[in-house]
Amino acid sequence: MQAIRSRDSIDAGSMKILGISAHYHDSAAALIIDGMPVCAVQEERLSRRKNDAAFPLLAIEWCLQHAGLEPDDLDAVVFYERPMLKFDRILTCALRAFPRSWQTFPEAMKSSLGEKVWVRGTISSYLGVPSRKILFTRHHQSHAAAAFLAAPTDRAAILTTDGVGEWATLTVGHGTRGTNGGTTITLPREVRFPHSLGMLYSAFTAYLGFAINEDEYKVMGLAGYGRPTVVDKVRRLIRQTADGAFALDLDYFEFHSTARRSYSSRFVDLFGPPRLAYEPIDLSSADGQRFADCAASVQCVLEDTLVTLARSLHEETGLSDLCLGGGVALNGLANARILAESGFTRVFVPPAPGDAGCALGAALYADRIHFGSPDRDIPDHPFWGPSVDGMELARIASEDGHPVDRCEDEDVLIGQTADDLAAGRVVGWMDGALELGPRALGHRSILASAAGTEMRDRLNREVKFRDEFRPFAPVVPIEAADRYFEIPAGGARLARFMSAVFRVRPEWRAALGAITHVDGTTRLQALDREMSPRLYALLQAYGQRTGVPVLLNTSFNLSGEPIVNRAVEGYSTFLRCGIDVLVAGQTRVTKKTSEVSRE
C-alpha cells in the first residue's frame, strides 16, 4: 500500500476511513470508524442502474450523511486497487496484441485515462480531500481483507479468485489477526492475467449467450441440467503448471486482446456454434443439451482446479480455516466441494466477495495493516445499507388507494404474513438495513411457499420474468436445516450467507419442489436468529402453520433491475409483478381486489 506522508499525525482511536470500489463493475462505498464498519452500500442500489460501475458519488454521499460526517472529517480515503498498475496491464496487453488491438486500443486508453488512472484526482476533486489522505490497496488485497478481516477467525489461509484486478487474477496466502496491532495478510503467490479462472468461466458465460460479469450464476444453474461430457475439451483450454497453478491456452480466447469477444474462432471450432442471447434454451433439443453439457463441463473443471489449489494451500499452511474472496467465490458448487475435499474444516465466504465488497475490504486493510490499528470483531452480517421506512410505504400506498395495515404488534404482523405465505401468497419482504452484496439474505426478499413446483413456475412467470432453468433458494432456521438438507460438517457456516450448494434430502425433494434444482441440490440460507430476528420469527410462524419452516427466498427485484432499497422501490416492484402482499417495517400492503389476478 502506498504510504501517506505522516501516519503519526492520525489519532488511531478515532480513525474514519472511507473505502471505495469503482470503474469495473459494482461500485460501492464503505465507511469504518474506530475500526468498525458503520455503513456500506452499492452504487446500483441508489442510482437504480444494475451493476453501476460509475464513481460511487451517491454511495459516498449516503455513507457520510449516515454517519454525520463531512469529507473533511475523513482521515483516509482508500481506493480498492492501484490504477496505474491496471493501466500498465491494459497498455501491455494492447501492445502485445498489436496490430490486432489497434481498433480497441484508443477506447481502452480513453476509458483508462478518463476514469481509471486519475482516480486520485477524481476523489480529491469530488470530495475535496487533500491528495495525501488518498490511499490505494491492491485489488486482491482488498478481496483478501474483505474475506479475512470480517470473518470470525484469527488465523486462516486465504484464496482469492476473480476475472482480473490489476494483473493478479488469483492469489493465495494467509492472514493473522492481532488484538494489539500486528494484523497481517500475506499473499506471496499469484496467477497473473491473462491466465484467469474468472475469465475462463466468463468466456463460457458469453459463449452460452449470457452477460459477462452478471450472469455467471446462470451458467451454474444450467450446469445442473447437463453432464460433463466435454470436460476433456475444456481441459485443452486450461492446463496445470509445474508450480501447481494453471495456465490458459490463449489460442482459444480473445479477451486479452480485444474487448469485443471473449473466445476465439478456435473455441467455436471445439465446442460448436455459440448460443445467441435472444434464443430460448430448449433443453429437449440437441443444441440445448449441448449448451447444458458445456456449462456442466466448465463448472466441473473450475471446481477441480479450485479444489487442487485449496488442497495444496491446506497442506502448505497446515491451517484449518480458509477464507475465500473474489467474484469466483460466489460459485456455491465450487465452495461446497472445497469444503468437502480440500482438508480445511471451516471455509468462510463473505456476503459480498466480489468487487462491491472490496470497498469494505480496502477500508479494513488500510485500518488494520497500513495504520496498524488493533483488530476488532466485526458484526457477522451483511446489513450495512440504508434502512427501509415503513411509514413511507404506508403514505405512498394510501395515496394510491391500496389497502394498508399499520401493525404495531410484531406478533400479529408476523402471524398475518405467515398466514399469507401458508395460503400461497407471494410476499415482498423489506426489513431494516439493506444487504451489501448480491444475495438477498432476509432484508430485501421475495418470500413464498417452497412446496411444489407450481410456485417456482408462478414466480418465474409472474414475478421474476426469467429463464425457467434457474432454481430458487430456500431459507430455513439453522436448527432445522439438517432435517431437510444434507449439510456436511462446516456447511452451516457457508450456508449463513448462501455461499454453498448442498443436496436437499431425497425424502424432501418433492415436498420442497419450488427450491429443489433438477439435480437435487439447492443454495440454502441457514438462518441464525440473531442475524435476522424478524425473518426467523416468520419462519417459525410459517412452520407452525405448515409443519415445514422452509420458505423460498429470492432477491426483491425484477429481472434486469437492482435489488430494491427504499420503500418506494419495493412498492413500485410490487405493482409491476405478481407479488400479493408487501411488508416494510410495520406496514403491510395488499393489492386492490381489481388487481388480484389469481386467488
Say whether residue 81 binds Fe ion (CB under 5 A).
Answer: no
Say whether residue 303 binds Fe ion (CB under 5 A).
Answer: no
Neighbours of 367 (CB within 10 A): 30
Say whether residue 569 binds Fe ion (CB under 5 A).
Answer: no
Total binding residues toward Fe ion, as defined by CB under 5 A: 2
Nearer to Fe ion, 196 or 522 (CB): 196
Find the binder of Fe ion among 26, 44, 81, 162 (CB under 5 A). 162
Find the binder of Fe ion among 26, 293, 304, 355 (CB under 5 A). 355
CB of 24 to Fe ion, least distance (A): 7
Question: Measured at CB, which residue is nearest to Fe ion?
Answer: 162
CB of 58 to Fe ion, least distance (A): 21
What distance in Å separates the CA atoms of residue 378 and residue 380, rounded to the nearest whole number?
Answer: 6
Say whether residue 216 binds Fe ion (CB under 5 A).
Answer: no
Nearer to Fe ion, 162 or 420 (CB): 162
> Closest by alpha carbon to 163, among 206, 213, 236?
213
Query: What is the pairing mode between strands 16-21 and 28-33?
Result: antiparallel
CB of 355 to Fe ion, least distance (A): 5
Nearer to Fe ion, 355 or 420 (CB): 355
CB of 162 to Fe ion, least distance (A): 4
| Candidate segments 161-169, 397-405, 482-490, 530-538, binder of Fe ion by CB under 5 A | 161-169
CB of 346 to Fe ion, least distance (A): 23
3 state SS of 238: strand
Nearer to Fe ion, 352 or 552 (CB): 352
**Residues 6 or more apart whose Cβ sits within 8 Å of residue 400:** none
| Candidate segments 162-170, 361-369, 374-382, 441-449, binder of Fe ion by CB under 5 A | 162-170
Q: Residue 555 in contact with residue 563, Cβ under 8 Å?
A: yes
CB of 160 to Fe ion, least distance (A): 8
CB of 111 to Fe ion, least distance (A): 17
> Closest by alpha carbon to 431, among 537, 542, 546, 514?
537
| Candidate segments 64-72, 156-164, 249-257, 315-323, binder of Fe ion by CB under 5 A | 156-164
3 state SS of 128: coil
| Candidate segments 38-46, 354-362, 390-398, 500-508, binder of Fe ion by CB under 5 A | 354-362
Nearer to Fe ion, 171 or 554 (CB): 171
CB of 330 to Fe ion, least distance (A): 11
Nearer to Fe ion, 162 or 215 (CB): 162
> Closest by alpha carbon to 253, among 382, 163, 352?
163
Backbone φ and ψ for 21, nearest 5 degrees, come out as: -125, 140
What distance in Å separates the CA atoms of residue 79 and residue 36, rounded to the nearest whole number?
Answer: 18
CB of 571 to Fe ion, least distance (A): 34
| Candidate segments 157-165, 184-192, 201-209, 411-419, binder of Fe ion by CB under 5 A | 157-165
Residue 417, CB-side half-sphere exposure with 13 Å CA sphere: 35
**Residues 6 or more apart whose Cβ sits within 8 Å of residue 276:** 209
CA 229 to chain centre: 29
Helix 216-223 vs helix 332-341: crossing angle, to nearest 10:
70
Helices (H), 208-285: 216-223, 231-237, 265-271
> Closest by alpha carbon to 502, among 280, 288, 314, 340?
340
Nearer to Fe ion, 355 or 569 (CB): 355
CB of 139 to Fe ion, least distance (A): 6
Say whether residue 166 binds Fe ion (CB under 5 A).
Answer: no
Separation of first and last alpha carbons in the chain: 59
Nearer to Fe ion, 330 or 450 (CB): 330
Nearer to Fe ion, 355 or 375 (CB): 355
CB of 259 to Fe ion, least distance (A): 17
| Candidate segments 125-133, 351-359, 463-471, 506-514, binder of Fe ion by CB under 5 A | 351-359
- Is the dihedral angle over the CA atoms 370, 376, 379, 384 positive or is it negative? negative
What distance in Å separates the CA atoms of residue 253 and residue 387, rounded to the nearest whole number?
Answer: 44
What distance in Å separates the CA atoms of residue 155 and residue 190, rounded to the nearest whole number?
Answer: 20
Element (H, E) at 36: strand 36-42
Q: Which residues bind Fe ion (CB under 5 A)?
A: 162, 355
